[in-house]
């Protein structure tokens, strides 16, 4: 933002500064990844840190939308650099050269990103560099800038870089493996979103000091819930004929987040006249395949595929639903999706279709009103759905301590980040 007032410039100069490299940033739409960076950027000034953000030109985003929800502070500087999506801008008849997508489809922002970072470092003299995955090229920019300047660097992993079956391409996997090793080697600290992810990384890279691995969980944005406080009125009485509204908000995949066993369980329970429900898949991103499953099972009057909506409206829809569903199979055992924290804050019952040995299952076991089922087992899902519906019919109420819920807020996550930034900046200044 080149139009900063003299007062804001003076305020920024009096604060510690962090240079943040993030592909996901408003006005991108349809990705939960944007919220982690936005909330850090929003809350860091409250802890004395001014964020300076380098991101891509919006043309590189799959879709864009309203960015007013971000409520970014005046102390933030945002710079955008040239970028293209190889799959969209370099494809001919839907095909593009693999080399143009290594390590990812947005590699084109590497030169501009590095150059802009160097320019901003000269101008603002930040104390710490920060970059965030799962867009690998963001970490590649961070690595390059760190090696050119020696600026202390925090590498944020929202998801583990190497997972079972991902990256699928052998070449891309080798590129990721090499990049991951360099990130771990050169970064001052690596932050991850779950304890099991931290344990996996520290096991694979035993030479990195234990203090250089930190967990900063995902969380929820309290400000998005505040306008709907009047909707938190507990469980309303329902008539026998009133369907239970079940919502899944977000992306579904054929692997790891496959809704088919759930749909088969729903069909079975309906045929047995044991449930009366309405299911909404909001913004699932795989509408054709999921729609075919719904139609084949004859559930088109029960299960609705609806498009993405604005983030604040998505929060409102969660609060107004009876049951919130999370799909998290074994592929994602070391991750906890951001929506889980929003689900807990929404104060509604949660149907957790998971691998029961995964991190999401472990976390949700600590909360009342959560019904776990094996994501791959129709029978297990049937049992949990039936138990949940019966409890709703009996008027069961939830018991979640508001103070404990607030510990899951993004504000508290940012508090942990500023502690990491402060420690890393001290290490950098002592060298």
145 and 279 together in one domain: no
Query: Who wins on pLDDT, 230 or 287?
Result: 287
pLDDT tens digits, one per residue of 379-390: 999 999 999 999
Q: Give domain status of residue 145, yes or no.
A: yes
268 and 414 together in one domain: no
Lowest mean pLDDT of 61-70, 144-153, 178-187, name the range.
61-70
**Does the pLDDT at position 334 exceed 70?**
yes
pLDDT classification of 68: cutoffs 50, 70, 90: confident
Residue 1 is predicted with a pLDDT of: 41
**DSSP, residue by residue, 399-422:** ---HHHHHTTBHHHHHHHHHHHHH
**Does the pLDDT at position 279 exceed 90?**
yes
191 and 334 together in one domain: no
Query: Who wins on pLDDT, 186 or 251?
Result: 186
Residue 323 is predicted with a pLDDT of: 97
Query: Who wins on pLDDT, 36 or 98?
Result: 36
**Does the pLDDT at position 254 exceed 50?**
yes
422 and 389 together in one domain: no
For residue 156, the cross-strand partners are: 132, 191
47 near 421, Cβ under 8 Å? Answer: no
Q: Give domain status of residue 182, yes or no.
A: yes
- Write out the two tokens for 239: 């008539």
277 and 421 together in one domain: no
Q: Which domain holds residue 257?
A: 223-406
Cα–Cα distance, 412 to 279 (Å, whole number):
33
Q: Give domain status of residue 245, yes or no.
A: yes
pTM reported for the whole predicted model: 0.87
Residue 286 is predicted with a pLDDT of: 87
Read off the pLDDT of each residue in 214-228 and give the average, rounded to a whole number. Answer: 92
Nearest residue to 280 via CA among 236, 237, 309, 247:
247
Cβ-Cβ contacts under 8 Å for 315 (sequence gap 6 or more): 224, 225, 228, 342, 346
pLDDT classification of 233: cutoffs 50, 70, 90: low
Cβ-Cβ contacts under 8 Å for 91 (sequence gap 6 or more): none
Q: Give domain status of residue 305, yes or no.
A: yes
Q: What is the 3-state secondary structure (H, E, C) of 20-61?
A: EECCCCCCECCCCHHHHHHHHHHHHHHHCEEEEEEEECHHHC
185 and 90 together in one domain: yes
Cα–Cα distance, 266 to 302 (Å, whole number):
9
Residue 3 is predicted with a pLDDT of: 65
207 and 261 together in one domain: no
Residue 43 is predicted with a pLDDT of: 95
Percent of the chain exceeding pLDDT 70 equals 96
305 and 238 together in one domain: yes
292 and 415 together in one domain: no
69-81: burial string, b at 16+ Cβ within 10 Å, e else: bbebbebbbebbb
Nearest residue to 344 via CA among 327, 364, 362:
364
188 and 63 together in one domain: yes
Residue 236 is predicted with a pLDDT of: 54
**Can you give the CATH number for the domain in which 325 is found?**
3.40.50.2000
Q: Give domain status of residue 66, yes or no.
A: yes
Q: Give domain status of residue 153, yes or no.
A: yes
What average pLDDT does the chain have? Answer: 91
21 and 134 together in one domain: yes
Residue 237 is predicted with a pLDDT of: 58
**Does the pLDDT at position 177 exceed 90?**
yes
The number of domains in the chain is 2
Q: Give domain status of residue 1, yes or no.
A: no
For the chain, give the number of residues: 431
326 and 199 together in one domain: no
**Does the pLDDT at position 184 exceed 70?**
yes
Read off the pLDDT of each residue in 260-270 and give the average, rounded to a whole number. Answer: 96
Residue 249 is predicted with a pLDDT of: 92
Task: Return the top range by mean pLDDT from 141-150, 230-239, 311-320.
Answer: 141-150
- Write out the two tokens for 284: 């699932």
Read off the pLDDT of each residue in 24-47 and give the average, rounded to a whole number. Answer: 89
Backbone conformation region of residue 318, classed left if phi is above 0, alpha if psi is from -120 to 50, else beta: alpha
Q: Give domain status of residue 201, yes or no.
A: yes
């Amino acid at each position: 933002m080149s139009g900063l007032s003299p007062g804001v410039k003076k305020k920024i100069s009096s604060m510690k500064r962090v240079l943040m490299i993030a592909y996901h940033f408003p006005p991108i739409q349809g990705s939960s990844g944007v919220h982690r960076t936005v909330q850090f950027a929003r809350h860091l000034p409250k802890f004395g840190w001014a964020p300076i953000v380098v991101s891509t030109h919006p043309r590189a985003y799959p879709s864009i939308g309203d960015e007013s929800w971000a409520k970014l502070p005046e102390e933030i500087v945002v710079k955008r650099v040239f970028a293209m999506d190889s799959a969209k801008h370099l494809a001919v008849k839907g095909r593009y050269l693999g080399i143009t997508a290594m390590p990812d489809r947005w590699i084109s922002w590497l030169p501009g990103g590095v150059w802009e970072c160097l320019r901003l470092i000269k101008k603002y003299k930040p104390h710490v560099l920060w970059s965030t995955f799962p867009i690998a090229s963001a970490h590649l920019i961070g690595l390059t800038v760190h090696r050119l300047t020696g600026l202390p660097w925090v590498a944020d992993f929202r998801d583990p870089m190497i997972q079972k079956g991902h990256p699928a391409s052998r070449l891309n996997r080798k590129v990721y493996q090499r990049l991951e090793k360099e990130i771990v080697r050169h970064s001052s600290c690596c932050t991850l979103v779950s304890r099991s992810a931290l344990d996996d990384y520290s096991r694979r890279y035993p030479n990195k000091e234990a203090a250089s691995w930190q967990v900063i969980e995902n969380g929820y944005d309290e400000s998005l819930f505040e306008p709907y406080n009047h909707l938190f009125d507990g469980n309303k009485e329902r008539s026998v004929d009133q369907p239970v509204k079940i919502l899944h908000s977000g992306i579904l995949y054929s692997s790891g987040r496959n809704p088919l066993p759930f749909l088969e369980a729903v069909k079975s329970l309906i045929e047995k006249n044991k449930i009366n429900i309405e299911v909404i898949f909001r913004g699932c991103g795989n509408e054709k395949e999921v729609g075919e499953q719904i139609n084949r099972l004859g559930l088109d009057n029960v299960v609705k595929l609806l498009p993405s909506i604005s983030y604040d409206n998505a929060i409102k829809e969660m609060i107004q639903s009876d049951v919130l569903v999370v799909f998290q199979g074994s592929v994602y055992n070391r991750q906890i999706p951001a929506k889980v924290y929003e689900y807990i804050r929404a104060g509604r019952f949660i149907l957790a279709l998971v691998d029961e040995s995964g991190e999401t299952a472990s976390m949700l076991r600590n909360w009342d009103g959560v019904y776990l089922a094996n994501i791959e087992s129709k029978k297990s899902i049937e049992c949990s759905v039936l138990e949940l519906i019966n409890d709703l019919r009996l008027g069961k109420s939830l018991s979640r301590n508001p103070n404990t819920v607030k510990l899951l807020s993004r504000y508290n996550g940012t508090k942990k980040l500023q502690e990491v930034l402060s420690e890393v900046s001290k290490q950098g200044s002592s060298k």
